[in-house]
Structure 1
Amino acid sequence: MEALNNLFITIDSFLGSAFWFPYVLLGVGLFFTIYLKFPQVRFFKHAWLVVTGKFDKADDPGDTSHFRSLTTALSGTVGTGNISGVAFAIFLGGPAALFWMWVTAFLGMTTKFVEVTLSHKYREKTEDGTMAGGPMYFMDKGLNMKWLAVAFAVATVISSFGTGNLPQSNGIATAMEATFGFDPMIVGGVLAILLGLVIIGGIQRIAAVTSKIVPLMAVVYIVGALAVIFANLGNIGPAFAAVISDAFTGSAAAGGFLGASLAYAFNRGVNRGLFSNEAGQGSAPIAHAAAKTKEPVAEGMVSILEPFIDTIIICTITGLVILSSGVWKEKHHNVFDASDMTIIAGQYSEANPVDLDALYKHLNGVEGSSVQTFTGRVAIMNGVVQSNDITVMNARSIAEDVRFTIGGTEDLYSGMLVIENGVPQKDNIVVSGKSLVHSAKLTTLAFTRGFFGDFGQYIVSIGLLLFAFSTAIAWSYYGDRAMTYLFGPKSIMPYRVVYVAGFFWAAFSDTTLVWTFSAIAIVVMTLPNLFGIMMLHKEMKSLMNTYWDKHKSKK
């Protein structure tokens, strides 16, 4: 798993974590925002009217209503990205990461408007009588680029696992184990069965389920979050100030947090923003293609609301909970994931400014760091390291109270431990101690700092269960539409079987490994979609102007 994670990290370094990717994503959103004259502002009110059904007609072609298409798409975006993803972004980039999530969402409102409109225009009815749409259809029929359409469809199948399946299952299982002590394998098994029962019913059942889950889960989660925010009201002002002030400087060291450079916070904020609202990824257009309407632009306007609800509202609330509670910079006892832990040569202390500077450079990829991973043998006595020549790092922080135990037991390990490139070479060793935490664990801890006390953790677990499960449902639909495009309707059932199996496996897999794969899957789907919508920018402007002129004339 360590070798596989390192391979994924290497691949991601050329894609989502590369310096150029955030500029491409935001650049496309900025281009369309200016080119279409800020549609996310001009059409915001109209979008709400379309969702309410004000302009619906009974004989419009499609499978579901505007509202159900919106909730299906929202169920695909409102998931672990809003709970785990925001926490992961702040863990990596500090408060500044939240600002760049906002920017990604604002520009993403336009990007999603464009991709949904174009996909809806080129949708078609399949052999089984249902509507199928998505970027692969406008790439094929609008651009006459079959090869690009096939590449996107393949990327969608991959991303259905990387975005909608594996991280959702892993996030649920992690939260359930932390809160209730449930075995991740049992959690994965039960939810995999429920997932299979829902997705076999197709878009009608999916839309029916998500239209009920999405509003419910939003209310439960927001109530729990506000209980933390109001309990820490005095910290809200400083939290907002840190988000804004750090946006163009990076985040300084605070508590166990060792600091993040501007470049790192920018990259992580944009990357996690994309994971959360999926604007530009090309996923939501697949759900919106099922909406009953003859007007592609009308459905595009509905999609403007998604990044607003997902990121501007829900992700901001999560971010304020984490920042105002202070848990993001505190060390907590936890069992170290192999992918999060590394052993470095030499003794480092947070109290030493020279050490802080070296670790800051090391963690943020800044040149000039003297930090080296350790290779050699270390004596362990009753679970405690007997050498002063190493420092255990976990979750981008200096670990404290570190204990080495024999896997599956509480027996303390004694003996010589071989370390290669910072990694212990004994498989049955479990390492635990105090360090920063991230993802669902961080958000869960933050929710215990409110009026509900420890009960807050149950709100996160229930919210994550509903958020992530609905996301997995929606993404199964995206994947089966891509399979339909590639191989026809007969390929849907085999795909769903593999999808459910993946959901089960991810529940007890390495969290960091899952998230690293997720980062790759998102980008391989996003790049061809961004290229496609840029190629059709003139057609998009014509469609928008024609629709709006017609609407104004009727009014």
Structure 2
Amino acid sequence: MANFIHSLQEFVWGRGMLVFFLGAGIWFTIRSGFFQITKIHIWTANTIGALKKGKKTKNAKETASVTQFQSFCTALAATLGTGNITGVATALMFGGPGAIFWMWVSAFFGMMTTYAENFLGIKYRYKDEKGQWKGGAMVYMERGLGCKPLAVAFAVCCLGASFGMGNMVQGNSMAVGLEKAFHVPAFLSGSLCMIVVAVVLTGGMKRIAIFTERLVPVMAAIYLAGAMLVLFFYRDRIAGAFALIFQEAFRSSAAVGGVAGYSMKQAVRMGIARGIFSNEAGLGSSVMAHAQSDVEDPKVQGMWGILEVFIDTVLVCTITALVILVSQVPYWQAGEIDGTTLTGMAFASVIPWGKEFLAGATALFAFATMIGWFYFGAQTADYLAGEKGVKVYRFCYILITLPGCMIAPTMIWELSDALNGMMAVPNLLALFFLGKEVAYVGKK
């Protein structure tokens, strides 16, 4: 089974898939006139600026929607997961420092892919007989593209990805961290996680939105505070870390730490794959959360997507990578240590309780992602089988939490990579066909 999963992952994330992802982002970037750069003052004013000014939106309690910030936090909760911690470490271990550069590349172009997804998600959403918004990639595939089979294929793949990236990867990283830091057995941490997940998930979208709105800013602040402490301690090494990232991005490395270097192919593949795993640009997953927003202008929600990718990859992933590089922990010992342990070693090099701190941060990130991804999966279950399908899905999602915490990490990561790629194919196809409908501020 392990060999089959590895082969599947290698096939799905071949050169063609990387070109597919980057091609979509490049196309939308060019069509928008490099919107993420040339209109940075506009999209920041409509997101961060709106929050700073205390800009009001419709009262979500009086409507069937949630606020723009709540939908953003739900989407960000799903993206700000262990990919920002363990995923970055894995990219360094198997792709070298150059992989971080290619994570930035995937994020830069991915910003406009996410913008397009959110724009189409708002444009084609609709309200059901209960007044609830129905939206997501499968909706714009069916209503915009008129291709029901493609929508069904996406929904099925999204269900599978929700169990992999959304649940098992997160639970496993959390369990590994807690076991190494506090000697908590995986069975115990998995059981507790399963119970808490069940409690939150029974409250529906409103409870999920309120939960993520409160958790995401707190957990991000806690993690970044610890990381900044490490970076301050090694501040004289930060410039060297950036130099190493750029040096290793385009060439085969000389021996690192006494072992063979990394090839550019490894750096590109691992950087883009882990970047997409983290920010989810092109997967079509976060559209389900953004489509619930009380926003009326699709362009505004598209801008929240740009901010989502920026925070996830350009900010958090970069800081994690710098923490590992400046602490000079042996990231080149791939196969000998796991990503969670490696990052814990980096924090522990400065903070006496660094491993414990990281274990707690990982648990928060993982739990938030599990909640956010449940909502994505529930939307596709509802699309495929209605309310009964959602009930069955909720039961299975809660149930799989425990075994996910106990399975070998490598197998789970490779399975999740494969499922992500399979989910992205129908979404990227739809984006290419519907891309001309995407509008941008300042462009006709």
Aligned equivalent of 1:5 = 2
Structure 1 residues 132, 261: CA separation in 2 closer, same or farther (over 3 Å shift)? same
- Residues 37-94 of structure 1: per-residue CA shift (max 9 Å, x gap): 1121244333343332637345996511111111110000000000000000000011
CA contact (8 A) 2:197 2:371 kept: yes
Please state if 1:29 is matched with 2:25. Answer: yes
Using the alignment, how far apart are the partners of 2:31 and 2:401 within structure 1? 41
Aligned equivalent of 1:528 = 426
Please state if 1:119 is matched with 2:19. Answer: no
Please state if 1:157 is matched with 2:159. Answer: yes
One-letter amino acid matched to 1:207: A
Using the alignment, how far apart are the partners of 1:236 and 1:14 within structure 2? 36
Aligned equivalent of 2:46 = 50
Aligned equivalent of 1:76 = 78
Question: 5 Å matches for 1:387-536?
Answer: 395-396=334-335, 435=336, 437-450=337-350, 452-453=351-352, 455-536=353-434
Please state if 1:198 is matched with 2:200. Answer: yes
CA contact (8 A) 1:84 1:439 kept: yes
1:328 is paired with a residue whose SS is: coil
Using the alignment, how far apart are the partners of 2:254 and 2:98 within structure 1? 10
Q: 1:281 aligns with which of 283, 303, 309?
A: 283
Q: 1:141 aligns with which of 140, 143, 148?
A: 143
1:517 is paired with a residue whose SS is: helix
Q: TM-score, normalised by structure 1?
A: 0.76
CA contact (8 A) 1:85 1:439 kept: yes
Using the alignment, how far apart are the partners of 1:58 and 1:186 within structure 2? 40
Unmatched runs of 5 consecutive residues or more in structure 2: none
One-letter amino acid matched to 2:180: A
Q: 2:299 aligns with which of 293, 297, 301?
A: 297
Please state if 1:15 is matched with 2:12. Answer: yes
Using the alignment, how far apart are the partners of 2:279 and 2:330 within structure 1? 22
- Residues 105-152 of structure 1: per-residue CA shift (max 9 Å, x gap): 111110000011101111122355422211100100001000000000
Structure 1 residues 176, 259: CA separation in 2 closer, same or farther (over 3 Å shift)? same
Which has the larger share of helix? 2
Using the alignment, how far apart are the partners of 1:175 and 1:481 within structure 2? 30
CA contact (8 A) 1:256 1:329 kept: no
One-letter amino acid matched to 2:243: A
Q: 1:223 aligns with which of 205, 222, 225?
A: 225
CA contact (8 A) 2:161 2:420 kept: yes
One-letter amino acid matched to 2:330: W
Using the alignment, how far apart are the partners of 1:204 and 1:179 within structure 2? 34
Using the alignment, how far apart are the partners of 1:104 and 1:537 within structure 2? 19
Using the alignment, how far apart are the partners of 1:222 and 1:147 within structure 2? 43
One-letter amino acid matched to 1:49: A
Q: Quote how far apart the aligned CAs of 1:447 are.
A: 0.6
- Residues 229-279 of structure 1: per-residue CA shift (max 9 Å, x gap): 122222212111110011110333211553211011100100000000001
Structure 1 residues 257, 67: CA separation in 2 closer, same or farther (over 3 Å shift)? farther
Higher relative contact order (Cα pairs below 8 Å, separated by 6+ residues): 2
Question: 5 Å matches for 1:174-193?
Answer: 174-193=176-195
Aligned equivalent of 1:211 = 213
- Residues 490-510 of structure 1: per-residue CA shift (max 9 Å, x gap): 211110110011111111111
Structure 1 residues 121, 322: CA separation in 2 closer, same or farther (over 3 Å shift)? same
Question: 5 Å matches for 1:339-350?
Answer: none
Aligned equivalent of 1:380 = none
Aligned equivalent of 1:319 = 321
Using the alignment, how far apart are the partners of 1:13 and 1:478 within structure 2? 26
Which has the larger share of strand? 1
Using the alignment, how far apart are the partners of 1:82 and 1:251 within structure 2? 24
CA contact (8 A) 1:96 1:251 kept: no
Q: Quote how far apart the aligned CAs of 1:31 are.
A: 0.9
One-letter amino acid matched to 1:462: G
Aligned equivalent of 1:306 = 308
Rg larger in 1 or in 2?
1
2:33 is paired with a residue whose SS is: coil
Aligned equivalent of 1:387 = none
2:72 is paired with a residue whose SS is: helix
Give the RMSD, CA atoms, in angstroms: 1.8
Unmatched runs of 5 consecutive residues or more in structure 1: 332-394, 397-434, 551-555
Deviates further, 229-238 or 41-50:
41-50
Using the alignment, how far apart are the partners of 1:72 and 1:287 within structure 2? 6
2:57 is paired with a residue whose SS is: coil
Using the alignment, how far apart are the partners of 1:114 and 1:185 within structure 2? 41
Aligned equivalent of 2:437 = 539
CA contact (8 A) 2:257 2:330 kept: no
Identity %: 39
Please state if 1:258 is matched with 2:270. Answer: no
1:164 is paired with a residue whose SS is: helix
CA contact (8 A) 1:254 1:329 kept: no
Using the alignment, how far apart are the partners of 1:128 and 1:48 within structure 2? 34
